[in-house]
Amino acid sequence: MQARFDHIFGESDPQERVYSLIGSEVEKTLFSGYNASIFAYGQTGSGKTYTMTGEGSIQHLDAMPSSSACIATTLTDNINTTSVTSSSGSSNTHPTPNTALMKRGGRLNSNDIGLIPRLIHGIFTRLKGDANISNTEVKMSLVQIYQ
């Protein structure tokens, strides 16, 4: 059996480098109309969760039904509310304070933001800023498997 890796990151690689090499390409792929996946594999304690989610970024959301909407609007500047439609079709508007990810004396430390929050921020910032996009549905799944 052979395996091929796009890239192997070292422990000294900052989150910005991970996003610039992987996240920006995933974002381009999504806006070209394709689905995208990121698969992180490695030994226990090697930094997969930290790389994907960051330090305290999205763990607090656990399995909330509207987690992706909460994450996205929390990370997207100048958005104060979000409309979340549940699987039953009901729509609710929720406040989304930008303070959810604030730390260290009220400042967001960019070194602590993982790949997933960076991608969500990039996707929703781009959607918000593109006048040609009027109605978009974003679906995502985050799965972490422990054995």
pLDDT tens-digit readout, 28-61:
999 998 999 998 888 888 888 889 988 864 544 4
28 assigned to a ligand binding site: no
Residue 30 tokens read as 């999504």
Q: Which residue has the tokens 């104060």?
A: 80
d(CA 14, CA 23): 13
Q: Which residue has the tokens 């929050």?
A: 117
147 assigned to a ligand binding site: no
Q: How far is CA 99 from the centre of its chain?
A: 17
CA 66, 71, 72: angle at the middle one, nearest 5?
Answer: 100
45 assigned to a ligand binding site: yes
99-121: average pLDDT: 67
43 assigned to a ligand binding site: yes
23 assigned to a ligand binding site: no
Model-wide pTM > 0.85: no
Q: Which residue has the tokens 């959607």?
A: 127
89 assigned to a ligand binding site: no
